[in-house]
Structure 1
């Protein structure tokens, strides 16, 4: 396997609040390889978006602070770079597609002006006419109809899907090596979601960017990701290729995410949701933070007292569970309880 284009090592990001210190990202490590799509999945509050903001240097301080770790991009640590150098990398080498384009786009500038600005910021020799031509080319690439006319329109004159396409155009304007998409379809209806994801896939192919797809939607992960990072309570709890995660999850939380979703390929008698709520990031449970909600733990002392590392469970798959070998049996039990013949396969 080639060398990673982006490596996170021991990243810990906290937020100081009146109620206490929120450990939003807690000793997270993973790699992103050239050309791949890495899916990052988990419930709200699991640390997905804060990880992305940490990569980009966009964690607001105060109250946020990165207290440990390295973020290596092409071998250089982003956390030790000056603000000026990091600004040069953002938009040129690392592109970002935010969750809500209406709040990410400037309402007083036209969509075309904002794309052109992203181009000229990183290429001072680009003339206004050249920037306009390239912006229209990008709008055409992402499927915006009548790109010449849309160039001169303001964000409020675009639909949600068109705004998100414009955000993708801006993110890929300078052919970045890494593209981060943070919940890129959350605010869109299902039909537009599919169109935007097709655009995102096309953009990735055109730029050959390694992509981080952050989402809570396992369906998107199954369709678009090559590898999957599952996060819970600010930590990585499972890492695997996408087929392994859906065919044979080895962490109880990953299994819980799968059994709590409706399926189109089988008729379910009922869903099997994860009991309880995500943990407080101010006061995490001792031991494995998932043990209060876990169907595998069964109250065993080791789950309550010892934080599990990411154990190698075979085939490059890793899971932070003391009893990962018991998860397949629980998967079969869950399948029978839900009225299905098998508990595997992508949702």
Structure 2
């Protein structure tokens, strides 16, 4: 089997706050393989973005600290690298697309200058003229109209969609082996979202980069991911191929996410949200952290007392639920309840 290009093993990242220690990422493990798109999905506060920041060495310290785990890039542990080694890796072998380009781009430098800086930082023999030509080619590649003119403009002179395209151009400038996209379509309207995601797909195909796509949008996951990691309360609760995640989820939280989606095949009058709220990461509940919101637990003691490991649910699949085998039947029940509400006009 192909070795993963990026492997996160037992990663735990905490933040020290006046209210206590926030366990933002709690013993997270997953692998990313060459050429694939791994979707990381979950509610706000589930640990998706902090995982990405931990990989890149961008967790602010203090208050953040990585207290356990390994992050292996082609067999090298990023957590053991010096700051200088990490800076060399970022922007070359690992590219990052942040969720808010307006705060990620330098407002006092032109977009072109920022792309050429990325190019020359990792290619010392590249002249300014060569870097400019390459930057214009990259802007054209990601669909920026009039790339020669846009090259000399500042970020505030670009629309949100154009700024995000410029961020993608910077991320792929040095043909990275891994591309991390953290909520790349946040605050963009639906039409621009689709265009940006298509640009991202084209960029990935051009560089053959393995991609980590972080989002809370299950529609984006269904369209673009090969495999999916579902996070809840700082932990991985399910991992499977994208088809299995949507057709046969094995964790009650994943089932809840599926059930709360609007559907085009039926005329639903009311969505079916997950009851309750995400857990307090300073004071996680005993046992399974999803237990207070779970429709499968039914008050069973093991859910109250024992944190579920990621049980093997099939080749390349896992679910952190003591009763994952009951979830498919529960999915049928949810579908029947939705049908009954539809029939009654509720």
Query: One fold, TM greater than 0.5?
Result: yes
Relative to structure 1, the CA distance from residue 172 to residue 208 in structure 2 (aligned partners, 3 Å threshold; closer, same or farther) is same
The Cα offsets for residues 236-280 of structure 1, whole Å up to 9 and x where unpaired, read as 000000000000000000000111111123322421110000000
Q: How does 1:69-218 map to 2 (within 5 A)?
A: 69-218=69-218
Question: Following the alignment from structure 1 to structure 2, what is the Cα–Cα distance between the partners of residues 191 and 324?
Answer: 37
Structure 2 spans left out of the alignment, 5+ residues: 342-346
Q: Deviations over 1:93-121 (max 9, x none)?
A: 00000001011000000000000000001
Which structure 2 residues correspond to residues 273-312 of structure 1 after superposition, within 5 A? 273-312=273-312
- 2:238 is aligned to 238
In 1, the alpha carbon distance for the partners of 2:132 and 2:278 equals 47
Match of 2:344 in 1: none
SS in 1 for 2:153: coil
Deviates more, 1:216-225 or 1:328-337: 328-337
Equivalent positions of 1:306-325 (< 5 A) are 306-325=306-325
1:345 corresponds to: none
**2:42 paired residue number:** 42
Give distance in 2, aligned partners of 1:46 and 1:340.
32
Structure 2 match to 1:331: 331
Q: Secondary structure at the match of 2:115?
A: helix
- SS of corresponding position for 1:194: helix
2:61 aligned partner: 61
Query: Does the CA-based 8 Å contact 1:268-1:340 persist in structure 2?
Result: no
Once the two structures are TM-superposed, the CA of residue 340 in structure 1 deviates from its matched residue by: 8.0
Q: Deviations over 1:60-90 (max 9, x none)?
A: 0000000000000000000000000000000
Give CA-to-partner distance per residue, 1:16-49, whole Å, 9 cap, x none: 0000000000000110000000000000000000
SS at match of 1:125: coil
Deviation by residue 1:167-224 (Cα, 9 ceiling, x = unmatched): 0000000000000000000110000000000000000000000000000000000000
The alignment partner of 1:132 has SS state of helix
Equivalents in 2 of 1:106, 1:209: separation in Å? Answer: 25
Q: Which deviations, in whole Å up to 9, do the C-alpha atoms of 1:142-166 show, x marking residues without a partner?
A: 0000000000000000000000000
1:344 alignment counterpart: none
| Equivalent pairs, count | 341
Matched residues in 2 for 1:189 and 1:34: separation? 31
Structure-1-length-normalised TM-score: 0.97
Does the aligned pair in 2 maintain the 1:269–1:338 contact within 8 Å? no
SS in 2 for 1:8: strand
Mind listing any 5+ residue stretches in structure 1 that lack a counterpart? 342-347
Q: Please tell me whether the aligned partners of residues 99 and 186 of structure 1 are also in contact (alpha carbons under 8 angstroms).
A: yes
Aligned partners of 1:266 and 1:95: how far apart in 2? Answer: 40
Between 1:310-319 and 1:92-101, the stretch displaced more is 310-319
Distance 2:337 2:144 in 1: 46
Distance 2:168 2:188 in 1: 15
